[in-house]
Structures are given as structure tokens and as C-alpha cells.
Structure 1
Amino acid sequence: MRRIRLTTGPTAMFGAAFVIALIVFMPMRLVLGWFGLGETGLAARAVNGSVWWGSMSDTRFGDLELGDLRARLSPVQLFVGRARVTLDGRESSKPLHGAIGVSRHSFGLDDMTASLAAGTIFAPVPVSAIDLDDVSVRFQDGTCQHAEGRVRANLSGDLAGIALTQGLAGTARCDSGALLLPLASQSGTETAALRLWATGRFRAELSVQPTDPAAVPKLVLSGFQPGANGYTLAIEGKF
């Protein structure tokens, strides 16, 4: 029987084992800090566990509440200099599943499906929640390079007497360096163009084509201005 001798010395083998153990049990919070995920707007009250099976409590992305999530780092992406953290909140009251990817020159979302409470971000427009359906977005050096997936804005109540409970929906895409969400109601009489930049700044333009002339004075009092697409209200802010 031919024996195979290992040429690697015990010191090198111990060092390799130590490095592997260090990576396996590395705290998730350290990795999130190293790759600057906090600079993208992602924050949590507490981060626990290792990079392979961690958890994030009271997670937020800017002003959007994500809730309690499980988090896991992709080892394959590390070899190409990119941190890809898979987030899973399907067991919580706010289902979410997808990933956030960050590298030296880019960041974005990968295959994100979620229902996010909007709070008062888009006030006075009564957007109650934003639903993402398999949405992927990639910003490269601050410029939107790729975007796809369906987005729906759920609205509660009415605006200037016009019921908007049917919501607005559309497909994400890039436009002039920004992420553009061109949304429309089923009737097409209400549309919204939501643009988001890498800095977290956004601009939303809601246009309404009232079928009832009595709604026009109410729209004007609410800040809508007449234009080519009916009456438009522009909102600017930051997540």
C-alpha cells in the first residue's frame, strides 16, 4: 500500500484551521461594520450571531421599518470582494426575503420581496405600505445601473376627496442615474413617478386626472398644480 505524505507542517495546518474557525464564528455585527452596510441606510437595534446564522432586531432601512430579521453572509461573494447578506423575515408579521449586496463601488438589492410600512415618508400622500415583488437594484459609483421587479404602493383613505385605495403599481427601472418607479392605478387616472438616488434622496410626482370637476378645487387646495397630465403634486425627501 502506497502512503501519501502530507507536506504541510503542523504549524501551517493549525494556522489554516484557526483562520477557518475565525471566519465561521465571526460575529455578524463586525462584518456589517467592515463592509459599511450602515452607510447604505441599514440599521438595527441589535445584531447577534455569526456571519452564517445571525439575527437583526428592529431593523430599519432609512425610515422604513423592516422588523426582526435573520441574516446570513454569502461566502462565495466574499471571494469577489462583495458582501451579500441574505435577509429573511418570513416568520414575522412583516414578511421579507432577499439580499443586500455591497462592494467598494456598488450596492443594491437582490431578489427582494417584502411589504414595508411607509409611515409618513410620503405625506401628505397617504401611502401606507410599499410592496416589493422580486425587486433587484444595483447602484454603481452612485449611478443606477440595473433595476427590475414589480413595486406596488398601497394607499389608505383619500386625497382631496379622491379614493386611492386601489393603489399604484409598476416595474422598476433606471432613468438618468436614478432608480425610477413609474406607478399607475388600474384606471390610469392616477400615476406616480418616484425617483430614488444613491444618497437616499427621493422625488415623487403624483398626477391625478379628476373625473369629477368638483374635485379640482380640493386638489388645488392640497397643493396640486395643473399640468399636461392633469394635476400634479411633487414631494421631495430622504429615506
Structure 2
Amino acid sequence: MMGRWIFIRDKRLTRTAKIVLAVIAIAALLAMLPLRLVLGWADPSGRTLRAQAVEGVAWDGLVGELQLGPLPLGLMEVDLMPLPLLIGRAQFALERPDYPGARPFSARVRGSGGNLAISHASGEVPLGGMMAPLPVRTLTMNGFSAQIDGGACVAASGTLGLVVPAMGAMVDAETVLAGEARCEDGSLVVPMTGPSGAERVDFRIAPDGRWTATMSLIGVPPEMATPLIEMGFEQRRNGVGMTASGTL
């Protein structure tokens, strides 16, 4: 009787059965893998994705006060994407939850240190005073993608824009300046224009992480230039302008 029991037990634990059990055990562990651990493994330096509060598992997480580089994204749903893992890439899908007052935003992100890839980015990111003294309120993205390797821009496409609040008679309503992103000598370059063509922002991020943004208002009459100059603009040959810079 004992011999029969051993025979049945050995028959059930075939090599295939052991492999299946091991796969099930690994799958169960992966299913419960905390998102906080995965974010730490994917970006040990914390330069690409930073968060103050992380809840949930890798495949279905919620992150508070999330930052993409220097950009404050706030509350976001963050999910590790399984297919890129097959080629050794930890890529995350970001999406802002739908709640009252939330601005839509979604993107796919991967990277660590000086390397970053963002794709399918669309929506709005409040800037606060990040680009001071430029009077800009919000960064907009529409199908924006960029690949940064070692700090240098190697590929970029889609649209980036800046929302400028009303500034008097010349810009009497909230205005969106937008343009197509491209790489130029390792820098990410976005020449943005407003709806009338008189508003312009030339935005550039150099490989060393230094960014500059020059806002120009072309053809400003003298009577409209004075209040803008009082706001910090400078008189220029073809209108008024202002430059801001910083380091990411």
C-alpha cells in the first residue's frame, strides 16, 4: 500500500508538473509585486520618476505627487507594461485619474539617469512658477514623443505648447503657443507660435540639461509696450521680449 502511494505521488510530480508549479508560484509573486519596488529598480537614481506616495502593485498602482523629471504631474495611475519586459525594458503607462478639476494627461515613460524615452504623451501639466519670469501657466502635449540618450536628444516628434494668461491689450485672453518638437545638435528644440503669429516662444533643452525659453511679441505698438515692459519684458527691434533659463 505504501509503495502504491509513493508511485502515485511520484507520478503526479513529473518534470512538467514541477515547471507548471514553479511558473504559477512566480506568477503569483509577480502579481503581488509592489509598485514602489519596481519604480526603485527601474530608476535607482530617481531622476526620471519620483514620487512621495505609492500604492498598489506594479500592474495597477496609484502614485501621489509624481514627478517626471522636473515636471510635477500630481496624482497619477502608474502601470508597469508587460510587453516591453520581454525585451528587458521597464516601461510605465501613466494616466491622470478622472476627478473633478483634473486636467487630462497620459503618457508612456521609461528611462534612468540621463536616459529617457517618453511617448504618446497628451494632456496638460500645470507649471506654477517653473518658467519664471515668463508668464506661462501650463505645458500642453499632443502626441509628443522624445528619446534622450546621455542627455542628448536623438528623436522627437509631436507637439509641445505653453498656455499664456491674458497680459493686456496685446494678449487679451488666455493663449496657447504651440509647435512641433525636433532634435537639433543634441538639443530638444520647439519653436512655438500663437494663433495670430505675433506671439512666439523659442524653447530649447541642451544636452547638459540647461533650458532656455525666449518669448517675443512682434509688432507691439508703443502704447501697448509700456505695460508689458512694466511686467518685465524688454524693448526689442521688432517688439518686446523676455528670456528665462534654468537647469533640469
Instruction: Give me the TM-score of the superposition, normalised by structure 1.
Output: 0.84
Tell me the secondary structure at the aligned position of residue 133 of structure 2. coil
Q: Deviations over 1:147-190 (max 9, x none)?
A: 1112221111317x642632211111112212112101122112
Aligned to 1:36: 43
Percent sequence identity over aligned pairs: 28
Q: Does 1:226 align with 2:236?
A: yes
1:43-73 C-alpha deviation (Å, 9 max, x unpaired): 2221111111111112233553322111111
Aligned partner (choices 191, 197, 203) of residue 194 of structure 1? 203
Structure 1 residue runs of 5 or longer lacking an equivalent are none
Give the conservation status (yes or no) of the 8 Å contact 1:174–1:180.
yes
CA-atom RMSD, angstroms? 2.7
1:98-126 per-residue CA deviation (whole Å, 9 max, x = no partner) reads 21122687312110112111101122221
**Contact 1:90–1:97, Cα closer than 8 Å, also in 2:** no
The residue that corresponds to 1:123 in the other structure is: 132
Give the counterpart letter for 2:236 in structure 1. Answer: P
Tell me which residue corresponds to 1:69: 76
What does residue 147 of structure 1 align with?
A: 156
Aligned to 1:94: 103
Name the larger-Rg structure. 2
Task: Tell me the amino acid that sits aligned with residue 126 of structure 1.
Answer: P
1:20 aligned to 21, 24, 27, which one? 27
Say if 2:122 and 2:140, in contact at 8 Å, map to a contact too: yes
Q: 1:233: how far off?
A: 2.1
Higher helix share: 2
**Contact (CA 8 Å) 1:207, 1:230: kept in 2 or not?**
yes
Checking the alignment, whether the CA contact within 8 Å between 2:139 and 2:162 is kept in structure 1 is yes
Structure 1 CA distance for aligned equivalents of residues 229 and 133 of structure 2 = 13
Cα distance in 2 for residues equivalent to 1:171 and 1:190: 15
- Summarize the Cα distance change of 1:78–1:199 in structure 2 as closer, same or farther, 3 Å threshold: farther
Provide the residue aligned with 2:9 in structure 1: none
- Aligned twin of 2:247: 238
The answer to which structure has the higher strand fraction is 1
Aligned to 2:166: 157
How does the TM-score come out when normalised to structure 2? 0.81
Q: State the aligned residue count.
A: 233
- The Cα offsets for residues 22-44 of structure 1, whole Å up to 9 and x where unpaired, read as 22211111111111176334222
Name the amino acid aligned to 2:88: G
Q: Distance in 2 between matches of 1:37 and 1:127?
A: 32
Native 8 Å contact 2:180 2:192 kept in 1: yes
Bigger mean CA deviation after superposition, 22-31 or 89-98: 89-98
SS in 1 for 2:220: coil
Q: Distance in 2 between matches of 1:138 and 1:226?
A: 35
2:75·2:97 contact (CA, 8 Å) conserved in 1? no
Q: Matches of 1:209 and 1:167 in 2, distance apart? A: 16
Query: Counterpart of 2:135 in structure 1: which amino acid?
Result: P
Q: 1:86–1:100: 8 Å Cα contact kept in structure 2?
A: yes
